[in-house]
Amino acid sequence: MTHQAHNLPWKVLSDNFIYRYKYRRNDYLTNLFSQDAPQTPKDLRYFAMAFSRTIEEHSNVERAKYSEVYDPPKDHEEVFSKATAEKIQRTLQHSQERGGSICSMEALDDRRMQSWSTFMDYYPGSGVYRPPYEVLEPLKILLLRNEMDTVLRISSHPSVNLYTAWETHFDDESDYGLKGLFYPALISYLCLNVLLQKPELYDDDAKKSYLQCPERGLPVFPEESFLDYRLTRAYQLMILNCAETTTQTLPYQAFFGLSQERTYAYRASRYQCGRMSFAQLKSAANMDGYRPHRDDIAEVIQTLQQKGLPTELCLTIIEFAKYTPTRRIVRADDPLHKDNVKELRKYLTYCWQLLVRGDMLMKSKNDKIDWKFTVEYCIWTLFIEPSRRVVKLQRRSAGGLILDEPYRR
């Protein structure tokens, strides 16, 4: 079930981590902990190199689908069409309804190249300045919607500085840089694929087999409820990274079914990851709102019809209540459940494709993402950091861009 299983050694990586429930040696955290194994640094480096090589190959294949060279847009030339602007507006409106975007709709009225001068090294005589988020929000939506032809054309302008856009911060609370778009995709991709290698944490039959005949050297648990991947610090930390109230997290929130109430409580909740149940985490971070699945709509209509209401009135009530499907997985709060396999596969594929787009975009300006260091750092954050083990990471390449947590500065 793991994604890119033929290219990425997920088992080699996951075998270095062991599940422990409220482990007293690590402040009673629940997590997949790194073991005292001498081969762990080697296995971690081996996986990171395979990841870097695979994403490089996929990026090259994807880049070949587009023009090899783009003519840079002129000053007063529109960089995307009105139809594309309408798509961006719909996404912005969807985000604003949930408090996730502060970019104004008027920002899309001016689609000329000169209005994108916020991230240009030098743009003579443009006389136009726009706040960073009014440029980055539409650019991120173009990446989310796979409008790569438009994105590559914009980046072809000799003065566009994507390196600056990568690290841009709007305020102390939010990271509007491009890396803020790709980090949730990377941490989701790594975390879920590693957890998929531990079926005793999500599959009922595997849990029963594990409790009946635990493997030698592994911890023993008195009941099934202790064997739950949602209790791990890694999973809860990943969820908090996907719950940031910005436009860039819309795909992740739609998959997990996270409510999008603007709050900064999740920052404090980060330090409680692995110490509470998933329900407690959602409550602490104001993520406990319910987001319906499309199957829920049919159930509500059926219930209203049983009360004697006609179908037309049922649909009117649902529309008035804004009860629309906003969750992709069938079983809420359990993405690894067997009923969610189809959507999980789509989600992992989407995360991978988004990372490939990011690699394509940055390489278009000769800015390279240091995937080896980034992947090692992300795995260290999820599984090794709370173990208090000393694992030496690869040396960061000179000038290489990295993905890290937006609020860890």
> Residue 137 domain-assigned?
yes
Contact present, 115 and 130 (Cβ < 8 Å): yes
> Residue 305 domain-assigned?
no
> Residue 240 domain-assigned?
yes
For tokens 């783009």, the residue is 70
CA distance 165 to 182: 13
How far from chain centre, in Å, is Cα 230? 17
> Residue 307 domain-assigned?
no
> Residue 302 domain-assigned?
no
> Residue 385 domain-assigned?
yes
Coil, helix or strand at residue 145:
coil
> Which residues of the chain are modeled with pLDDT < 70?
1, 96-110, 115-133, 168-176, 214-224, 245, 259-269, 286, 288-289, 385-400, 402-409
Contact present, 152 and 364 (Cβ < 8 Å): yes
- How much is the pLDDT for 126? 46
- How much is the pLDDT for 258? 78
The helix (H) or strand (E) run that includes residue 22 is strand 17-23
- What does 209-275 look like in DSSP terms, one character per residue? HHHHSPPTTS---SSGGG--GGGSHHHHHHHHHH--SSGGGHHHHHHHT------SHHHHHGGGTTS
Task: Report the number of distinct structural domains present in the chain.
Answer: 1
- How much is the pLDDT for 259? 67
Cα 264 to Cα 98, 155, 167, 181, 310, distances in angstroms: 15, 33, 21, 18, 43
Residue 388, domain extent: 1-216+227-291+326-409
For tokens 């409550």, the residue is 283
> Residue 367 domain-assigned?
yes
CA distance 209 to 200: 8
- The predicted model scores a pTM of 0.86
| Alpha helical stretches, state H, 120-220 | 132-144, 148-155, 162-167, 179-195, 204-212
- How much is the pLDDT for 62? 95
Q: Helix, strand, coil % (nearest 5) of the chain?
A: 55, 5, 40
Q: Is 130 exposed, middle or buried (0-12, 13-18, 19+ CB in 10 A)?
A: middle
> Residue 83 domain-assigned?
yes
pLDDT tens readout for residues 299-332? 888 888 888 888 888 888 887 777 777 778 888 8
